[in-house]
A and B are shown apart, each in its own frame.
Chain A
Amino acid sequence: MTQPLDLQSISAHYGTTKVLEDLSLSVQAGELVSLLGASGCGKTTTLRLIAGFLSPTTGSITLGGRDLTRLPPHKRDIGLVFQNYALFPHLSVLDNVAFGLKQRGLGSTERRKRAMGMLERVGLTPLADRSPGALSGGQKQRVALARALVIEPPLLMFDEPLSNLDAKLRVDMRVEIRQLQRANGTTSVYVTHDQEEAFSISDRVAIMNAGRLMQFDRPEVLYRRPANTFVARFVGFENIIPFKVTARDGAAVAAETAGMTLHLSQAGFGSIPDSFLLATRPDGLAVSTDPDAEGLPAQLGLRTYLGRAYQYQCETPAGRVVANGSLTTPLEAGTRVKLVPVPEQCTILPAEGAH
């Protein structure tokens, strides 16, 4: 029942605008993969292509060896959970869930039995005869989930399914979705713009931007070792500082940027190219008042209170960066400090273009 999904160099256009460029993505059987990105990145387009509501200009889509590319949506056998639930307003909760079974020609008693069973799994048995209009957002989402699951599809897809729910419910529902998906072992594609949601729920995450796949990997890897500046900024590496290697001695590397020399060990970062970018989160730059510290000279600007630390906007010869300082010694604007990179909180990216 569970099948792998394979997208081979898919391109898509809306009119003459290219919305997806040469996208290849393989989802293993039973895996949950998230498509993550800002609106307009192509994640929803990808989902609609797989569902069959759009046709790709080039490329192919296969599910368990079956070529879906030219198949109309109603023959693809994919369970879809919509952002706005898309429940049938004229049918009861039970009839909503049974709708897909009816299309598959099941008799009314069998339909009812299976639909009731599914409603029980999502805890909605008492609401079976209600109209969808009378349900809360969370209940609607459960009906939508039950409706998609009951047809036992080889592939489940979710289009921002939780974005209309409040924060608390969102967390509960994503656990519930993950449990149901795990229990059924159904291959799943999950579209979201919420990084925390994507990272918490997925086996692997595909980060997209402007119609291209930027990186596709496990959340742990994306979070610690982004492959490029786009993904780095996306996962919170706010400071990206260009360096040039000035000396190498075995694993030890000396690199320089405006007025600062930094000593690094390749052991922590793998091989370091001659020209690279050092990416850090605000926590990755320690604020030091020691004038002799090996770090980036900086003048502190605006200080904001984050609860766990103070955050400073800092002017440096390499541009403006953001650093977090300790709560015990708040520093005034204008103070001259050194910003010392914390190797465990940094990552190294290849230099890009002329920048």
Chain B
Amino acid sequence: MSDRPHPILVGVAALVYLFLMVPLVIVVGAALSDTTYLTFPPKGLSLRWFENIFEISAFRRTIVTSLQIAFLGTLIALLIGIPAAYALNRFRVELPNWLGTLFVLPILVPEIVFGFALLKSLTAGAGVPIFAALLIGHTLLVLPYVVRVISASLASFDFSIEEAAISLGSAPVKTFFTIVLPNVRAGVIAAFILAFITSLNDVSVSLFLTGPGISTLPIQILAHVEQFFDPTVASVSVLLMFLTVAVMAVVERTLGLTFLAK
């Protein structure tokens, strides 16, 4: 477009981006500090706070739990979400409208209410083990992302090629795996990543679903910050950011980065 935005607008946008980036830079700096308290710019460079993460058993355990929950939850959400997204698009006429809304509910209702409700009905109410309740909570938490992202890629999928495959003698189930799924591969990858990161970062649902020996990393970070003010948390944060960067790099390689903006 030939008309450039007004310089004042450009200035505001630059400040907004500065506002977005500076705190993250500060966290990285603080994580590298050699001091026992949080400071920026770092005084002396050291990686000892990164080592410290793994010396604290609570961090070790919660990192494992968080990864397990995020991986399993995302997997289950994909297993139940892909058929649902397919049904919503393929049988749009036959299925009622409220079904689509139902799958959005987990992001519509306040997460913290959802977590509390699971505590009340599952762990406290029915004696469901905490790990199982966490898994159920996270599966539902990420389900809307899975259904939405896959639906978006199915929306541009031409179902007549599926019919073409069936008319050529391919069985419907086989057709789904050989024709439909490969064409929404990008959507599945994006859904996986989005769901995984959402689960990994979740606080509000996990908040009520922790118990003796079981907690997630964000909850552990919260607890740690409230007791200690040392750079450990900064280094955990950097670790999580690295993970995010790695994931974004994978996305960039496979799909192009603007994909995530959709």
Contacts and interface: CB of A to CB of B under 8 A. Distances in A.
Nearest to A74: B3
A34 interface: no
A305 interface: no
Task: Classify chain B's interface size.
Answer: under 10
Nearest to A54: B2
Contacts of B3: 72
A55 interface: yes
A53 interface: yes
A72 B3 CA distance: 9
A72 B2 CA distance: 10
Interface string B25-39: 000000000000000
Going nearest first, the 6 A-B pairs with the smallest beta carbon separation are A53-B2, A54-B2, A55-B2, A72-B3, A52-B2, A73-B2
Interface string B1-35: 01100000000000000000000000000000000
A280 to B, nearest CB: 44
B13 to A, nearest CB: 22
Contacts of B2: 52-55, 73
A219 B32 CA distance: 76
A133 B160 CA distance: 30
Interface in A42-79: 52-55, 72-73
A53 B2 CA distance: 6
Nearest to A53: B2
Interface of B: 2-3
Nearest to B1: A53
6 contacts: A52-B2, A53-B2, A54-B2, A55-B2, A72-B3, A73-B2
A55 B4 CA distance: 13
A52 B3 CA distance: 10
Nearest to A52: B2
A196 to B, nearest CB: 33
A69 to B, nearest CB: 13
Contacts of A55: 2
A73 B2 CA distance: 10
B202 to A, nearest CB: 39
Contacts of A52: 2
Interface in A10-67: 52-55
Contacts of A54: 2
B246 to A, nearest CB: 33
Nearest to B2: A53
Nearest to A72: B3
A54 B2 CA distance: 6
A114 B165 CA distance: 59
A76 to B, nearest CB: 13
A73 B1 CA distance: 12
Contacts of A73: 2
Contacts of A72: 3
A54 B3 CA distance: 10
Contacts of A53: 2
B127 to A, nearest CB: 56
Nearest to A55: B2
A53 B1 CA distance: 7
A53 B3 CA distance: 8
B22 to A, nearest CB: 33
A54 to B, nearest CB: 6
A52 B2 CA distance: 9
Nearest to A48: B2
A26 B23 CA distance: 59
A52 B1 CA distance: 11
A57 to B, nearest CB: 13
Interface string A106-132: 000000000000000000000000000
A56 to B, nearest CB: 12
A155 B3 CA distance: 22
B10 to A, nearest CB: 18
A228 B163 CA distance: 49
A55 B3 CA distance: 11
A12 to B, nearest CB: 12
Interface string A137-153: 00000000000000000
A73 B3 CA distance: 9
A286 B22 CA distance: 80
A108 to B, nearest CB: 28
A97 B251 CA distance: 47
A181 B3 CA distance: 31
B1 to A, nearest CB: 8
A15 to B, nearest CB: 14
A18 B131 CA distance: 63
